[in-house]
Amino acid sequence: MSNTEAKAGLETKRPMSGEPVIQVREMTAGYGSEILLRRLTFEVRRGEIFVILGGSGCGKSTLLKHLIGLNTPLAGDIVVNGRLITGHEEVLPQVLRECGVLFQGGALFGSMTLAENVALPLREYTDLPEAHIDTLVKMKLALVSLSGYENHLPSEISGGMKKRAGLARAMALNPQILFFDEPSAGLDPITSAELDQLILHLNRTLGTTMVIVTHELASIFSVADRVIMLDKRAKGIVAEGDPRHLQEHSKNPYVRRFFNREA
Amino acid sequence: MPEDPVSSPSDAAGSYHASRDTAGALVIRFLGRLAADNASSIIRELDSLLAAERPAMLIADLGELRQIDDFGVVVLVGLKKAMGTLQGRFEIQNVEAGVSEILAMHRFVSLGQEGGAGRRRSADIFSRLGARTIAALRETGYMLQFLGDTCVSSWHVIRHPRVLRLGDTLTNMQRVGVDALPIVGLISFLLGLIMAFMSAVQLQQFGANIYVASLVSLSMTRELGPIMTAIIVAGRSGSAFAAEIGSMKISEEIDALTTMGFDPHIFLVLPRLVAAVLVVPFLTLFSDLFAIAGGLLVGITMLDLTVNNYIDQTLATLDLFDVALGFFKGAVFAALIAWTGCLRGFQVEGGAVGVGRATTSAVVSSIFLIILSDSIVVVILRYWEW
């Protein structure tokens, strides 16, 4: 597994520290009377690549929506970057400025070109002069290998390109935390591996904390420092730790089957 | 070597120190960090510094720079560009490994050499005229093709009525007809009221109060009832058809229908078309009724008419042809609205913007077609002296 080796080389330079950047305490989430996750507690440490995984319908994406404040938990607390966001909607805009989110389909604004999509947060939240914003936008798009597509509309590019452009937009303000919803979904293996490399690279050079929702095993093994695994029946976490360790040594047969891709 | 300090603002996170060296070059030593949080203020300060100093050579000394990100790189690119416009030289010195890696990652060497970001250039007037003409011809072609498809699938449904999706048709009948009844009733009632009011002011002068009943009933049944109903249906349902089908188009649901062997026309267009044609004429009748009720209210409260008087006069004015004409117009308008709404839905391209455009266009073109076809009917009837 060459990805793992490549990762081992990077690990020494990982800007990880023990300080928690996201804390979820006793959180219960669900829709109406249906409870998806019960009394969930975990934390994400600064600088790590944290993967939330689990089978379909276990509440991965729902959990992500709670972490970025789009949904409110039924009970419990969520602290992001030292600020309690549950019950304190007023701190959300400030907290979200320190976060970037890459949605499944990229969620680019269809009426704007790629350059305008990336420039939007820069124009809105920094007072950089316009010429410098142009340069920065070009750099951001070059970083995700989209040089030359500045003036394309989202409808004119492929799904993988949309996703990369979405990443460029999510990274526009160099956020401290990046959230990814299924980054590999719908990408070919090469593009998907490139995206993994980009995630590792950004984590290493900028020290960005990454929270990734995925069930792509190859991707999990190449990028994840730590994972939590959710389960539909348990309505909570069934495994937590290093995926390579869990693959071999987990006591839970379901977890071992998941990591070894067995029916 | 650096002497003669020019300026050195201090910043808690990171700063710079500018001075002239012995050769007269402006040396800017960056200290600490150059990143997203301090980039824009440093850019502004350096811009005014360069404008004041206008050096022939600028050296950026990165020896004491500990941290840089892409915002920091943009500061350096800005300096490089500014020196380009001043026709001076620009160099970076003492680049540490970590900083050098970031610069390499962003291909610093090639940055800032091309001009400003290339905007989409707008073509000249002839190209635009040509492009518009071609687009208009294509659209006409598509409309004709769509009309043909509608005719063919309608013929198919007439020959094999079982292929019509009855459930969808009934749901659409409810949405287009029953759900629209309150708003059609209210608007028509108020319209009858207003017409009675306005005409009463004139007719009262001649003691011709009773003709208010004729005026309201005739104009509503023949013209305004069908038109008002059609406009409300276009706004409520024509737009909904376009938005529904448009969203299905961009999420590839229509492609899915085709690959599963369904004819999208029979599946989507015909239930809507049939439903609208069936219910809008009845909606028109309700509109007539509510308008007459509105006129009646004005008649008995303000014009000293009795209910009997008013209704007798209304019945004497209207004959079956007038009511049937309104009924028939309702059906024609309904077909136009449903067809246009579906057409615009099928024409959607791109994303959310495309759906919005289709919805607007569905309403505007249906209202135009309603008025156009109504004028044609009026001219024909005049010619036949009805």
pLDDT digit string, tens, across residues A9-39: 344 445 566 788 999 999 888 887 788 888 8
Residues B313/B208, Cβ–Cβ less than 8 Å = no
Q: Say what the pLDDT of residue A5 is.
A: 40
B124 is a domain residue: no
**Partner B contacted by A248 (CB < 8 A):** no
pLDDT value at B386 more than 70: no
Measured distance CA(B328)–CA(B380) in Å, rounded: 14
pLDDT value at B2 more than 70: no
Measured distance CA(B304)–CA(B138) in Å, rounded: 60
A155-164, B70-79, B104-113: which has the minimum mean pLDDT? B104-113
Could you tell me where the DSSP H helices lie in chain B? 39-53, 70-85, 97-105, 125-159, 166-176, 181-203, 211-219, 225-233, 239-250, 253-259, 264, 270-302, 307-317, 320-346, 352-383
pLDDT digit string, tens, across residues B115-143: 544 455 677 889 899 999 999 999 999 99
Under 8 Å CB pairs connecting chains A and B tally to 78
- For residues B49 and B151, membership in a common domain is answered with no
- For residues B215 and B306, membership in a common domain is answered with yes
Those residues with Cβ within 8 angstroms of residue A47's Cβ, 6 or more apart along the chain or in another chain = A14, A15, A16, A17, A203, A207, A208, A209
Going through A59-197 in order, the beta strands assigned E by DSSP cover 75-80, 83-84, 99-102, 177-181
pLDDT value at B187 more than 90: yes
In chain B, the percentage of residues whose pLDDT exceeds 90 is: 53
pLDDT digit string, tens, across residues A243-259: 888 888 888 888 888 88
Q: Say what the pLDDT of residue B66 is.
A: 82
The DSSP secondary-structure symbol of A251 reads S
Residues B322/B221, Cβ–Cβ less than 8 Å = yes
- For residues A73 and A122, membership in a common domain is answered with no
Q: Which of A13-22, A104-113, B91-100, B134-143 has the highest mean pLDDT?
A: B134-143
Question: Which pLDDT band holds residue B4 (cuts at 50, 70, 90)?
Answer: very low
State the CATH number of the domain containing residue A18: 3.40.50.300
Q: How far is B307 from chain A (nearest CA, A)?
A: 55
B273 lies in which domain range?
Answer: 139-383
- Interface contact B74-A150, CB threshold 8 A: no
A142 lies in which domain range?
Answer: 107-174
Give the count of domains, chain B: 2
Q: Which residue has the higher pLDDT, B30 or B3?
A: B30
**Residues pairing with A240 in the sheet:** A228
Measured distance CA(B241)–CA(B234) in Å, rounded: 10
Q: Say what the pLDDT of residue A111 is.
A: 81
Residues in chain B: 386
- Interface contact A206-B69, CB threshold 8 A: yes
Measured distance CA(B73)–CA(B50) in Å, rounded: 18
Question: Which pLDDT band holds residue B5 (cuts at 50, 70, 90)?
Answer: very low
B67 is a domain residue: yes
Burial of B27 (0-12, 13-18, 19+ CB in 10 A): buried
Q: Say what the pLDDT of residue A115 is.
A: 93
The DSSP secondary-structure symbol of B178 reads G
State the CATH number of the domain containing residue B81: 3.30.750.24
Q: Say what the pLDDT of residue A4 is.
A: 43
A254 is a domain residue: yes
pLDDT value at A6 more than 80: no
Average pLDDT over every residue of A127-151: 89
Q: Say what the pLDDT of residue B51 is.
A: 85
CA proximity to B265, closest of B338, B368, B358: B338
B111-115, B176-180, B342-346: which has the minimum mean pLDDT? B111-115
Q: Which residue has the higher pLDDT, A140 or A4?
A: A140
Model ipTM?
0.75
Average pLDDT over every residue of B5-34: 74
- For residues A229 and A240, membership in a common domain is answered with yes
Residues B237/B337, Cβ–Cβ less than 8 Å = yes
- Interface contact B118-A151, CB threshold 8 A: yes
- For residues A145 and A90, membership in a common domain is answered with no
pLDDT digit string, tens, across residues B278-321: 999 999 999 999 999 999 999 999 888 899 989 999 999 999 99
Q: Say what the pLDDT of residue B13 is.
A: 62
- For residues B378 and B275, membership in a common domain is answered with yes
- For residues B106 and B143, membership in a common domain is answered with no
- For residues B174 and B318, membership in a common domain is answered with yes
- For residues B172 and B96, membership in a common domain is answered with no
- For residues B148 and B88, membership in a common domain is answered with no
Chain A, nearest residue to B106 by Cα: A139
Q: Say what the pLDDT of residue B120 is.
A: 57
**Residues pairing with B92 in the sheet:** B60
**Partner B contacted by A147 (CB < 8 A):** no
Structure tokens at B273: 């078309």
- Characterize the bridge pairing of strands B14-20 and A226-231: unpaired
CA proximity to B358, closest of B240, B213, B224: B240
